[in-house]
Amino acid sequence: MFAMKTNRTKSQERILKVLKTQKRSLSAQDIYSKLRRCDKPLGLSTVYRSLDALKQEGVVIVRILASGESVYSYLRQDQHYLNCVKCGTSIPIKKFPIHDLENKLDHFHKFKIFYHTLESFGLCDACAFGEDIS
């Protein structure tokens, strides 16, 4: 069983506060920019270190977009997305039947799962209209 980290740094708490107020995922650069507007800005390397620690704690999710950019969000629930490789649209899928599988993996492999993501890559309807993708 994993031990949950309870003693977060002030930097980690500030980043979590930013992520909790957002309805969308943010890049490390976005977080850095938001925190630069505060009285006590953080350095970009501190933002990356803090995000890594929060990810390892299981409270922050990192996703890699089709563009290769990493984006971060506060863990509210598991997330599933359809990502268009042409325009970059990322469409969230609300219901997905993977929770049974996750519970079985957790049980059989004795592995504490914090969260999961599912990313599918292809073309959205607008980009695929009229294109031959064969």
| Residue 130 pLDDT exceeds 60 | no
Q: What is the pLDDT of residues 94-129, one digit of tens each?
A: 776 676 777 788 788 887 777 666 667 788 888 888
- What's the domain range around 90? 77-134
CA dist., res. 67 & res. 77, Å (int) = 24
CA dist., res. 69 & res. 34, Å (int) = 18
Q: Which of 34, 59, 76 is the last residue of a domain?
A: 76
Q: What is the pLDDT of residues 2-34, one digit of tens each?
A: 435 568 999 999 999 999 998 888 999 999 999
Q: How far is CA 60 from the centre of its chain?
A: 6
pTM of the model: 0.61
* Bridge partners (DSSP) listed for residue 122: 84
Which residues, including other chains, have CB under 8 Å from residue 102's CB and lie 6 or more apart? 78, 113, 116
Domain at 108, CATH number: 3.30.1490.190
Q: Alpha-carbon torsion 113, 31, 81, 79, what sign?
A: positive
Same domain, 86 and 134: yes
Count of domains in the chain? 2
Domain at 35, CATH number: 1.10.10.10
- Tell me the residue length of the chain: 134
Same domain, 84 and 119: yes
